[in-house]
């Protein structure tokens, strides 16, 4: 991901951000589709378990990627949780996993969803 966005791409990102009803949602989980499908499944389950009675939505695919790109430029809400090992640019959670410093469960529950 780099900061050289085309105008159309920025407009798509802004439209996605505006479409979120942040006032009526407690957490938004944006999942990078480049993650391992097993990791994404564990992330889904952990997010739903940690939500409890709070309101949350899960966004995946291109829409999630656009929101993550926009969020890397402008933190438009404090409710967004980025479910990725590598995004935004500079995040190095995959290194912790591959080196054995942390397990998938530790990264999901303590790092990615730790603020819930």
pLDDT score recorded for residue 1: 45
pLDDT at 93: 92
Question: pLDDT at position 26, please?
Answer: 92
Of the candidates 56, 53, 58, 54, the one whose C-alpha atom is nearest the C-alpha of residue 43 is: 58
Question: Domain boundaries in the chain?
Answer: 7-112
| SS3 (DSSP) at 103 | coil
Where the chain has pLDDT below 50, the residues are 1-3
> What predicted TM-score, i.e. pTM, was given to this entire model?
0.82
**What was the pLDDT predicted at 91?**
87
């Amino acid at each position: 991901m780099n900061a050289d966005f085309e105008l159309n791409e920025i407009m798509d990102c802004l439209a996605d951000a505006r479409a979120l009803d942040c006032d009526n949602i407690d957490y938004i989980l944006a999942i990078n589709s480049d993650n391992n499908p097993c990791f994404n499944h564990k992330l889904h389950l952990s997010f739903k378990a940690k939500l409890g009675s709070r309101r949350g939505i899960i966004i995946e695919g291109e829409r999630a990627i656009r929101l993550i790109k926009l969020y890397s430029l402008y933190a438009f809400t404090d409710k967004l949780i980025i479910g990725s090992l590598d995004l935004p640019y500079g995040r190095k959670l995959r290194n912790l996993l591959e080196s054995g410093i942390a397990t998938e469960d530790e990264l999901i529950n303590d790092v990615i969803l730790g603020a819930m």
